[in-house]
Amino acid sequence: MSSANNPKTVTNPLYNVQFPNKDLSNNFSIVDNFSIEYAIMDNLRVNGQVSLTKSTARSEQFKSSHHTDFAPEEDLTQRGSYTKSTGESVSWNANAALNYNLVKGKHGMFALLRWDVSSSKSDGINLSAKGFPDDNMDDFLFAFEMDQRVNGEESTQRSVGMTGSLNYMYDQRFSVDFNIRGDLSSQFGADTKMAPFWSVGLRWNMEREKWLEEASFPI
């Protein structure tokens, strides 16, 4: 809350519309997917998929020296700002899977073995400058000085994983599942080994029981 000794200035945002400004962003991506499937036997299939993605991004923002953000500033070399950011990224993923299923009488068996590998790399640069006393000189090159040091980021990630799954079902009533998964990733650190994660599940489909199908329950 402002007081008589410390007055607070409230500006009209529509005032800034009359001055040159930029607020642009541009993003572009290309995605390419390829997949293949082959039946080795009636109950044994192998499939694979490869995916590639490339993206670029660019943004710019310019504020005139007359912008209300610089109202308290009297030094013209400190009025007006320009920020620019550019970045790009490339990522790919490949996987292959082997599927097996066998149904004989009341018995059913299903198995899956999957392998996948992925990699992604991205980098970006952020620039910021100030000092645009003339509104006709609204390009980054006309800045009085860089507002701060050039900064950016770079990231590279790679991972490899394997998944195994086994399921057995009897008479569509009882089933048991076993799943295991192991991953290696550059995010885990150089000294981290593959740690498997596994699970076991049991299931009973009561609705398949004859005594339940013939039973009636009042609502």
Residue-by-residue pLDDT tens, the chain, 219 positions: 445 566 666 677 778 888 888 889 999 999 999 999 999 998 999 999 999 999 999 999 999 988 888 888 888 888 889 999 999 999 999 999 999 999 998 999 999 999 999 999 999 999 999 988 888 888 888 888 887 778 888 999 999 999 999 999 998 889 999 999 998 888 776 676 777 889 999 998 887 777 776 666 544
Which of 157, 207, 210 has the alpha carbon at shortest distance from 184?
A: 157
Tens digits of per-residue pLDDT, 106-115? 999 999 999 9
Which of 53, 63, 13 has the alpha carbon at shortest distance from 33?
A: 53
End-to-end Cα distance, the chain: 63
Rounded to 5 degrees, what are φ and ψ at 115?
A: -130, 135
- Measure Cα distances from 31 to 57, 73, 89 in Å: 15, 47, 12
Per-residue tokens: 85:
């950011």
Q: Which string of b and e fits 77-116 if b means at least 16 CB within 10 Å?
A: ebbbbbbbbbbebebebebebebbeeeeeeebebbeebeb
Q: What is the pLDDT of residue 184?
A: 85
DSSP 10-45: ---GGGGGGS-EEEEEEEEEEEEEEEEEEEEETTEE
